[in-house]
Structures are given as structure tokens and as C-alpha cells.
């Protein structure tokens, strides 16, 4: 009895719509704008529909549209991106919990301005049982195609005229290329067996998209494999910096029920902080497990006794550069006869909050009639590509009769992950109060 043989060869299918039909149009329709078109769907798989197989999709359609694929058996849709003129691509890795059958339909939805087109495709019959055809004679197993290494020579700065030099190690005798998001596909040349190289000089008109990965692909025969670039384009030799300390260094805080200790990580131009490397000690006690830690900030809240407290923070970025920062603050019992201080409190957002959209309204409370001076600085750190810092706003507002005030935080370039550092000073008579607020633009 012939044993089933695992299919290691990628399947390439050009699928035509199931509901394709020829319609006779009236002559008046010729003068109308061209309707959106979905012409063909091409699928590449490195292992059929099995768990762990990578499905790559390519659609030819009208330019400037949004296209999503839905396959019965998947809990999510698969978005396609326009990577060429009228060419849309995307990929999906089959999970163990997926239930994809060859008979399941593939629904492609295309949105172009106010027009929507839905076209159905089907998997070809050849995918129904990829193990059915047993070979007459034993066949040597096909080597597993993989990319062993994909790197770039770091440059000083991403700017017009800078040359990006890529290197890929994999199986010999293939065809490789690098996909630069927002620019083009750059073919790679095999300079030695299994070693591929490519160079690209940035142009002034290029629009390198920082939110999408740089992808290399290697094709040998009918197999294709892809991998993302995991390092930054620029050299990262600088350690991250801890900013926006709260409480501030040397600050005296009146005894209250809960105190928040927090700070933001700034690795502008680098590859970002590794949250797993962060360690936080408060007066010698390890509070890391009880802290909220992200690549952008950390925060710890607890009741604290009066006295001096020391914060020690250590961390590393993904390039291995380490940092260490220590500071102290005091918790003091309030004096019974002390005059009431000027209050400046933010009521709408917590420190290090994540906000939606490019415009955010911040509300606060201070003394009635007090003048509040606001400065907003926006930091757009994009690891390995560019860091755009801008003064988003300088403004003065006056609190109303109840002490309430508000202002709007906006950025001309609201990239995901943008950090807004808001500094506020409240003045009334001889009294003065300061406060700081850090907000992050939502990722994705």
C-alpha cells in the first residue's frame, strides 16, 4: 500500500470568478466612469491547506481600491495591499484551529470610493486531495525552502541619496527580491551560491511607509518563502532614555492614599525597548511583576508611607543597548496649618493614556479664574526610519468660575505610536502649580 506523501511543492492557482457573466450594456453606459473590476485571483501555497502552510494571494483589479478576502473556515478577513499598479497582494498562515476545505468559497470584496464589488472564487479541484496521486516510484524528499538570514547594512540617516544594501542567505539557484513598502520591489542578484544581494538608493520622491515591514522573498521552482526584516535601517548604538519621571526627581508629595510612579521610554531612531528587559525597584523592592510595562512606558501604583523613596529602573532595547536610571522623591505628611496650595489636576485622561484619532480634548481643574499655560510637544518615533519631533501647540486658557478648563491636543502628523508630552503651569496671584501629562496615539 502506498503511504501518503506530504506535498512540499507550492501550488499556484489562477482562479476565475464563479459569477462571471457577459452583459449587454446600453450605449449610454459607455460614457459613464469605468466600473471597478476584479479580474483574477492567484494563490500560492507552500503546503496546500495544512496547518502551518503560508497562503499568498495576488489580485489584479482597478487601481486605488481596498480589497479584502473572506474564506469560510477563517475567523478573520485577509486584507490585500496595492503593491503595484493595480496589483494587490497579501498572505495568511493557516492555523490549527482553522477549518479550510477545498470546497469553501473565497469571497473578494472591493471598495472603490462609493462603489462596492463582491466576487466569489473557489479553490480548484486539484487541492481537494493533494495526497491522492501516489508516485509510481519512490521520490526523494524535496528540501524545505527557507531563508536563513535577511539583513541590511545600517545607514546613518534615512534621507535622499542614502544607499540601502540588503543581503539574503538561502537555497541556491533561486530568484529573490526585496519589497520596500511604498516604493517598489527590488530584485536581488545571486553573488555566490545561496547568497543574494541588492542595493537601492533612496530618491527624493520616495515615500517609504514606516508602518509596513520590509519583506524579502525567495522562489525556487514552485516554492516561495518570505521573511520580514527584523533590524532597523539605521545603526542603533545609543541606549534608550527615561523621560517624564513621575513623581519628578526630588519632588515632595503630600501623603495620600495612592501614588503613581511612571516614566516613558525614549529610543528615538532606535529599534525600541524590550518590555521583557525592564526591571523596576521601589526603595529596594522589586515591583516589576505589579507594574504595567509597554515598549513606550511603565507605571506602578501603590500606597506609600511618608519618607524618602528611591526608584531604580533598568532596561535594554532590542539592539542590546542597556540603560539605568535612579531618582528619589519624598512623601510628606500634610501640615495642619499650611495654606491650601494651588491645585492643577487633569480630569479627562490618566497619565500615559492611549488616545484615538488625531485630535484629543483634555479637561482639567484648577483655581477659579486661574490662567493655565499649555505647551504640547509631539514625538513621532519610528524605529530605524525617522523621528519627527514637533511643537504641536502653545496656548493659554483661563479657568471658569468653577475652576474648569479645557484645550485640544492635535498633531499635523498623527502616526501610530506618536507620544504627546503636555506641560501645564497654572498661575493665580502669587501662587503657581505645575503638571505634566503624556498621551500616546493608538497603534494601528
* Cα–Cα dist 429/403, whole Å: 15
User: How does pLDDT run across 200-227, given as a tens digit for each residue?
Assistant: 998 888 887 765 789 999 999 888 999 9
Q: What's the alpha-carbon Rg for the chain, to the nearest Å?
A: 29
Q: Are 77 and 69 in contact (CB under 8 A)?
A: yes
Task: List all residues 6 or more positions away from 117 whose beta carbon is below 8 Å from its beta carbon.
Answer: 35, 36, 37, 38, 109, 110
C-beta atoms surrounding 23 within 10 Å: 5
* Cα–Cα dist 275/285, whole Å: 19
User: How does pLDDT run across 282-323, given as a tens digit for each residue?
Assistant: 999 999 999 999 988 999 998 888 888 999 999 988 777 889
Higher-confidence position of 134 and 72: 72
Backbone angles phi, psi at 369, to 5 degrees: 80, 0
Q: Are 423 and 399 in contact (CB under 8 A)?
A: no
Range of lowest pLDDT (5-14, 232-241, 295-304, 310-319)? 5-14
CATH class given for the domain over 345-441: mainly beta
* Cα–Cα dist 159/262, whole Å: 35
99: Cα separation from own chain's centroid: 28
In angstroms, what CA-CA distances link 371 with 349, 366, 374, 403? 20, 9, 10, 10
C-beta atoms surrounding 104 within 10 Å: 15
pLDDT of residue 418: 81
User: How does pLDDT run across 18-71, given as a tens digit for each residue?
Assistant: 443 333 334 333 344 556 787 778 887 877 788 888 888 888 888 888 999 888
pLDDT of residue 381: 60
* Cα–Cα dist 206/149, whole Å: 26
CATH of 147-228, one of 1.10.3470, 2.40.10, 2.60.40, 1.10.287: 2.60.40
* Cα–Cα dist 170/284, whole Å: 49
Q: Where are the domains of the chain?
A: 11-19+35-127, 147-228, 241-332, 345-441
pLDDT of residue 426: 92
Instruction: Identify which of 200, 232, 203, 198 has the alpha carbon closest to the alpha carbon of residue 216.
Output: 198
Average pLDDT over residues 73-90: 88
Average pLDDT, the chain: 80
Q: Are 224 and 192 in contact (CB under 8 A)?
A: no
* pTM, to two decimals: 0.42
pLDDT category at 271 given cuts 50, 70, 90 is low
- Any bridge partners for residue 390, and if so which? 378
pLDDT category at 94 given cuts 50, 70, 90 is confident
Q: What is the CATH number of domain 241-332?
A: 2.60.40.1220
Query: At the topology level of CATH, where does 11-19+35-127 sit?
Result: Immunoglobulin-like (2.60.40)
SS3 letters for the chain? Answer: CCCCCCCCCCEEEEECCCCCCCCCCCHHHHHCCCCCCEEEEEEEECCCCCCCCEEEEEEEECCCCEEEEEECCCCCCEEEEEEECCEEEEEEECCCCCCCCCCCEEEEEEEECCEEEEEEEECCHHHCCCCCCCCCCCCCCCCCCCEEEEEECCECCCCCCCEEEEEEEECCCCEEEEEECCCEEEEEEEEECCEEEEEEECCCCCCCCCCCCCEEEEEECCEEEEEECCCCCECCCCCCEEEEEECCCCCEEECCCCEEEEEEEECCCCCCECHHHCEEEECCEECHHHCEECCCEEEEEECCCCEEEEEEEEEEECCCCEEEEEEEEEEECCCCCCCCCCCCEECCCCCCEEECCCEEEEEEECCCCCEEEEEEEEEEEECCCEEEEEEEEEEEEECCCCCEEEEEEECCCCCCCCEEEEEEEEEECCEEEEEEEEEEECCC
pLDDT category at 257 given cuts 50, 70, 90 is low
Domains 147-228 and 345-441 share a fold: yes
279: Cα separation from own chain's centroid: 24
Range of lowest pLDDT (87-91, 221-225, 377-381, 412-416)? 412-416
Amino acid at each position: 500500500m502506498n503511504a501518503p506523501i506530504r506535498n512540499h511543492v507550492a501550488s499556484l492557482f489562477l482562479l476565475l470568478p464563479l459569477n462571471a457573466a457577459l452583459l449587454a450594456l446600453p450605449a449610454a453606459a459607455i460614457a459613464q466612469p469605468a466600473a471597478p473590476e476584479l479580474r483574477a485571483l492567484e494563490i500560492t501555497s507552500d503546503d496546500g491547506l495544512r496547518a502551518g502552510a503560508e497562503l499568498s494571494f495576488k489580485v489584479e483589479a482597478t487601481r486605488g481600491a481596498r480589497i479584502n478576502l473572506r474564506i469560510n473556515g477563517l475567523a478573520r478577513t485577509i486584507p490585500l495591499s496595492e503593491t503595484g499598479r493595480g496589483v494587490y497582494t497579501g498572505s495568511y498562515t493557516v492555523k490549527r484551529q482553522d477549518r479550510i476545505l477545498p470546497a469553501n468559497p473565497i469571497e473578494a470584496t472591493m471598495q472603490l470610493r462609493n462603489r462596492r464589488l463582491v466576487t466569489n472564487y473557489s479553490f480548484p479541484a486539484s487541492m481537494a486531495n493533494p495526497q491522492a496521486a501516489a508516485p509510481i516510484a519512490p521520490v526523494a524528499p524535496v528540501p524545505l525552502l527557507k531563508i536563513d538570514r535577511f539583513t541590511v547594512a545600517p545607514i546613518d540617516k534615512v534621507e535622499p541619496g542614502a544607499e540601502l544594501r540588503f543581503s539574503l542567505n538561502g537555497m541556491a539557484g533561486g530568484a529573490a527580491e526585496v519589497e520596500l513598502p511604498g516604493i517598489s520591489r527590488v530584485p536581488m542578484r545571486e553573488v555566490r551560491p545561496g547568497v543574494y544581494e541588492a542595493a537601492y538608493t533612496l530618491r527624493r520622491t520616495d515615500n517609504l511607509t514606516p508602518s509596513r515591514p520590509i519583506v524579502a522573498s525567495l522562489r525556487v521552482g514552485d516554492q516561495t518563502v518570505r521573511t520580514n526584516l527584523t533590524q532597523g535601517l539605521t545603526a542603533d548604538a545609543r541606549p534608550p532614555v527615561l523621560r517624564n519621571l513621575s513623581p519628578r526627581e526630588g519632588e515632595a508629595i503630600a501623603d495620600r492614599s495612592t501614588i503613581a510612579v511612571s516614566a516613558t521610554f525614549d529610543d528615538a531612531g532606535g529599534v525600541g525597548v524590550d518590555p521583557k528587559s525592564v526591571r523596576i525597584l521601589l526603595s529596594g523592592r522589586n515591583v516589576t511583576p505589579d507594574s504595567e510595562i509597554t515598549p513606550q512606558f511603565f507605571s506602578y501604583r501603590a500606597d506609600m508611607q511618608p519618607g524618602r523613596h528611591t526608584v531604580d529602573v533598568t532596561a535594554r532595547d532590542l539592539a542590546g543597548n542597556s540603560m539605568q536610571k535612579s531618582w528619589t522623591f519624598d512623601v510628606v505628611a500634610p501640615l495642619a496649618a499650611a495654606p491650601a496650595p494651588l491645585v492643577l489636576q487633569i480630569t479627562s485622561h490618566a497619565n500615559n493614556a492611549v488616545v484615538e484619532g488625531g485630535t484629543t480634548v483634555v479637561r482639567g481643574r484648577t483655581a477659579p479664574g486661574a490662567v493655565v499655560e499649555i505647551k504640547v510637544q509631539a514625538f513621532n518615533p519610528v524605529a530605524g526610519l525617522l523621528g519627527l519631533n514637533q511643537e504641536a501647540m502653545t496656548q493659554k486658557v483661563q479657568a471658569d468660575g468653577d475652576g474648569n478648563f479645557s484645550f485640544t491636543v492635535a498633531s499635523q502628523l498623527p502616526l501610530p505610536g506618536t507620544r504627546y508630552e503636555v506641560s501645564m503651569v497654572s498661575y493665580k496671584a502669587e501662587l503657581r502649580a505645575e503638571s505634566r501629562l503624556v498621551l500616546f496615539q493608538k497603534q494601528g
